[in-house]
């Protein structure tokens, strides 16, 4: 199978930086995606990585190391509205997306 691991919960303070990690099985890897999901809402697309390195989009950045089967989502200057679940999803060749269990982030004042 393609097990994807993420921490279940994280807590951080408003204005701080938080890093959410995701590990996955490397065989057949064809892209990694991060989604944000607020309670009661649908997931929204944040980032896509297929090559090694860092992709930056405003306060959010995503990093990928294909050889290590590792990615992280970095959130800077945390705001209360960033409290949500963050889902890592991996696309494997010949298969559809596989979603990780999600990380529930709580941002405290």
Partner 1 sequence: SAVISQKPSRDICQRGTSLTIQCQVDSQVTMMFWYRQQPGQSLTLIATANQGSEATYESGFVIDKFPISRPNLTFSTLTVSNMSPEDSSIYLCSVTEISRYEQYFGPGTRLTVT
Candidates 27, 22, 93; CA nearest to 64 is 22
Please say which residue, 15 or 28, places its beta carbon nearer to partner 1: 28
Contact string 77-96 vs partner 1 (x = CB under 8 A): ----------x---x----x
Using CB under 8 A as the binding rule, the residues of this chain from 7 to 66 that contact partner 1 are 31, 33, 41-45, 48, 50
Please say which residue, 42 or 109, places its beta carbon nearer to partner 1: 42
- Binding-residue total with partner 1 (CB under 8 A): 17
CA 85, CA 35: separation in Å to the nearest integer?
Answer: 8
Minimum CB distance to partner 1, residue 11 (Å): 17
Q: Give me the residues paired with residue 70 across strands.
A: 23, 65
Structure tokens at 81: 């509205």
Angle at 24 between CA 17 and CA 40, to 5 degrees: 60
Q: Is residue 101 a contact partner of residue 8, using CB atoms and an 8 Å limit?
A: yes
Given the rule CB under 8 A, which residues bind partner 1? 31, 33, 41-45, 48, 50, 87, 91, 96-97, 99-102
């Amino acid at each position: 199978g393609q097990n994807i691991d993420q921490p279940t919960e994280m807590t951080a303070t408003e204005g701080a930086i938080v890093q959410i990690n995701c590990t996955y099985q490397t065989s057949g890897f064809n892209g990694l995606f991060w989604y944000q999901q607020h309670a009661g809402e649908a997931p929204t697309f944040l980032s896509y990585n297929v090559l090694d390195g860092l992709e930056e989009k405003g306060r959010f950045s995503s990093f990928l190391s294909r050889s290590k089967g590792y990615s992280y989502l970095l959130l800077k200057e945390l705001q209360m509205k960033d409290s949500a679940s963050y889902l890592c999803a991996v696309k494997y060749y010949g298969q559809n997306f596989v979603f990780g269990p999600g990380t529930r982030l709580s941002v405290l004042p």
